[in-house]
Amino acid sequence: MSLKTFFILISMTLCGSLGGYFLKRASSNLNSLKTLILNKYIYIGGLFYCLGAILNIALLRYIPYSLVLPLNSITYIWTLLLAYFLLGERIGKYKLFGILCIVVGVFFLTI
């Protein structure tokens, strides 16, 4: 995997995770349809999801589909880090074990 491809992959997975983070932020202030429409976090989250999808399409040019889809699991690593550092969520031993399984799986997929 080239450095360019690696950068696209990391950017794609980070965008997917940031999309979820901003939608989580948006969910804390949804009382009506009006607050939904006026909530800036909905749009930021949607923008990150769209950017991630565009990068996913670009990545398919360089990596086979059968590899791109499993590598999307890197998004869960970013999600765990964002949840811990930005949302103050706890990371238990089962979550750490899950992340370890993802890292091992990605390693085996890419060799």
Looking at the predicted structure, is the pLDDT value of residue 36 above 80? yes
3-state secondary structure of 61: coil
pTM: 0.89
Output the pLDDT for position 79.
Answer: 96
* pLDDT: which is higher, 27 or 47: 47
Hunting for tokens 């006026």 — which residue is that?
A: 38
Distance CA 111, CA 106 (A): 9
